[in-house]
Amino acid sequence: MKILIIGGGGREHAIAWKAAQSPKAEKIYCAPGNAGIASVAECVDIPVMDFDAQVKFAKENGIDLVVVAPDDPLAAGAVDAMEAAGIRAFGPRKNAAILEGSKAFSKDLMKKYGIPTAAYETFDTPEAALAYLETAPVPIVLKADGLALGKGVLICNTREEARAGVKTLMLDKQFGSAGDRIVIEQFMTGREVSVLTFVDGKTVRVMTSAQDHKRAKDGDQGLNTGGMGTFSPSPFYTDEIDAYCREHIYQPTVDAMRAEGREFKGVIFFGLMLTADGPKVLEYNARFGDPETQVVLPRMKNDIVDVFEACIDGTLDRIDLQFDDNAAVCVVLASDGYPEHYEKGFAISGLDAFREREGYYVFHAGSRFGADGQIVTNGGRVLGVTALGSTLKEARKNAYAATEWIRFDNKYMRHDIGKAIDEA
Ligand code: GLY
């Protein structure tokens, strides 16, 4: 089977690495990929939003399965474009990817179907939003309705901050048309957990849990990033919580999408808050999370190509999804200055150290080949260093040890990934 993966970050590297282990995978391509992905797939220079070029490539190269990983192409209809050309594709169609593509849609869905989430109001004008804020309790959360590179959520501790947030999103248009409409919602407190699930339109299969660290600096300080590290499983996501979420959140969401005529096939990522009143949905994503995927897939026992096909064919009920009884920690090595200003193009050394070592992985988020063939930094997030362990503590010790094997100028990382493990 020839497989084309759309995307070029750490998530796509983890997916390509996992797919490469399938006996069904005869050849894997990745568009556009990166220097790390090139070790498991042939990278083709096609942008993630160029559907015409992707379809042309897929037809010319006899691609049997396309896996669309990032949110933007999914929301814009990448899967629909493939299907229209008669090519099998894994991921939600455009009418289902709206689950992530519009915060107002997802909040309305949860309200309509009684899925636990924070109370909210939706606003189409800054005047109405500002008037609401006069009496709304703080802290309060502002969310741009559309996709905003994961940065369209503002947690405002004061009314002043909230007013400034409305200006940023709706007047200054920091995230473009994503801020034409905003959702203002109640601030929730508790532990955050990420739960990824495979969905075939009606059946949902739950992967192991994980937790992300979104802020740039130790102690959850600094700016929001695409994620500075993850661990899996979350010790706070108990069997009891899992049972509750399956009954009240996961299956109801899949059923609600089908009832709305928006059958969802692909991955639903449930961003949960474990509040004193029980688990509630913080957000939905219509795709694998990053860097969650970098700790979840190394623990997955199944052939991922079988699971992709089952999601497309509506036969997920025949898949017994299994994970190793171990733990994984991923520490992101970033360029100093990320997520604001940073330099690129520095030579990376030490990557070979991962080759012979079982249970250690280096997934590339932002790398490319330099002029002399040497791999160099090419992004804010550069590498995800993942290690397994029999316990979370062991996995964390192993992951931080492995971060020392890698060298590049301006290397930056958080030193407290998985600190919550000690509180469990
Ligand atoms: N780790 C959060 C995300 O993938 O959006």
For residue 422, what pLDDT is reported? 86
Answer yes or no: is pLDDT of 284 > 80.
Answer: yes
Report the distance separating Cα 43 and Cα 184, nearest Å.
Answer: 41
**Residue 149 banded pLDDT, cuts 50, 70, 90:** confident
Atom of ligand 1 nearest to the CA of 271: 2
Answer yes or no: is pLDDT of 263 > 80.
Answer: yes
From ligand 1's centre to the CA of 354, what distance in Å? 25
For residue 146, what pLDDT is reported? 95
Atom of ligand 1 nearest to the CA of 214: 1
**Residues 6+ away with beta carbon under 8 Å from 8:** 30, 31, 32, 33, 34, 37, 43, 48
Answer yes or no: is pLDDT of 150 > 80.
Answer: no
CB 361 within 8 A of CB 6: no
CA nearest 285: which of 226, 242, 335?
226
Report the distance separating Cα 4 and Cα 265, nearest Å.
Answer: 18
**pLDDT above 90 coverage of the chain, percent:** 96
Nearest protein CA to atom 3 of ligand 1, as residue: 289
For residue 352, what pLDDT is reported? 96
**Residues 6+ away with beta carbon under 8 Å from 60:** none
pTM recorded for the entire structure? 0.96
Q: Which residues, judged by CB distance below 6 Å to any ligand atom, belong to the binding site of ligand 1?
A: 150, 212, 227, 285, 289-290, 292
Atom of ligand 1 nearest to the CA of 230: 1
Separation in Å, CA 160 to CA 152, 171, 173, 223, 373: 18, 16, 18, 19, 51
For residue 129, what pLDDT is reported? 97
For the residues 315-336, what does the mean pLDDT come to? Answer: 98
Pocket test for ligand 1, best of 196, 211, 212, 283 (most atoms within 8 A of CB): 212
From ligand 1's centre to the CA of 153, what distance in Å? 12
From ligand 1's centre to the CA of 227, what distance in Å? 7
Q: C-alpha 195: how far from its chain's center?
A: 10
pLDDT tens digits for 105-136?
Answer: 999 999 999 999 999 999 999 999 999 999 99
Report the distance separating Cα 180 and Cα 130, nearest Å.
Answer: 14
Cis peptide preceding 47, ω within 30 of 0: no
Answer yes or no: is pLDDT of 224 > 90.
Answer: no
CB 265 within 8 A of CB 92: yes
CB 48 within 8 A of CB 30: no
From ligand 1's centre to the CA of 52, what distance in Å? 27
Report the distance separating Cα 289 and Cα 309, nearest Å.
Answer: 20
From ligand 1's centre to the CA of 289, what distance in Å? 4
Report the distance separating Cα 370 and Cα 353, nearest Å.
Answer: 20
**Secondary structure of the chain in HEC code, one letter for each residue:** CEEEEEECCHHHHHHHHHHHCCCCCCEEEEEECCCCHHHCCEECCCCCCCHHHHHHHHHHCCCCEEEECCHHHHHHCHHHHHHHCCCCEECCCHHHHHHHHCHHHHHHHHHHHCCCECCEEEECCHHHHHHHHCCCCCCEEEEECCCCCCCCEEEECCHHHHHHHHHHHHHCCCCHHHHCCEEEEECCCCEEEEEEEEEECCCEEEEEEEEECCEEEHHHEEEECCCCEEEECCCCCCHHHHHHHHHHHHHHHHHHHHHCCCCCEEEEEEEEEEECCEEEEEEEECCCCCCCHHHHHHHECCCHHHHHHHHHHCCHHHCCCCECCCEEEEEEEEECCCCCCCCCCCECECHHHHCCCCCEEEEECCEEECCCCCEEECCCEEEEEEEEECCHHHHHHHHHHHHCCCECCCEECCCCCCHHHHHC
For residue 256, what pLDDT is reported? 98
Answer yes or no: is pLDDT of 424 > 90.
Answer: no
**pLDDT above 70 coverage of the chain, percent:** 100
Enumerate domains of the chain plus CATH numbers. Answer: 2-94 (3.40.50.20), 125-180 (3.30.1490.20), 194-318 (3.30.470.20), 327-423 (3.90.600.10)
Pocket test for ligand 1, best of 153, 269, 332 (most atoms within 8 A of CB): 269
For the residues 411-418, what does the mean pLDDT come to? Answer: 97
**Residue 333 banded pLDDT, cuts 50, 70, 90:** very high
Atom of ligand 1 nearest to the CA of 292: 1
Sign of CA dihedral 351, 67, 304, 40: negative
For 181-219, give one letter per residue: b (16+ CB within 10 A) or e: bbbbbeebebbbbbbbbbbbbbbbbbbbbbbbbbbbeee
For residue 420, what pLDDT is reported? 86
Pocket test for ligand 1, best of 106, 194, 230, 288 (most atoms within 8 A of CB): 194
State the residue for tokens 């849990």: 209
**Residue 356 banded pLDDT, cuts 50, 70, 90:** confident
pLDDT tens digits for 29-46?
Answer: 999 999 999 999 999 999
**Over the chain, what is the mean pLDDT?**
97
For residue 423, what pLDDT is reported? 83
Answer yes or no: is pLDDT of 301 > 80.
Answer: yes
Q: Which of 54-58, 179-183, 291-295, 354-358 has the lowest mean pLDDT?
A: 354-358
CA nearest 88: which of 55, 127, 129, 116?
55
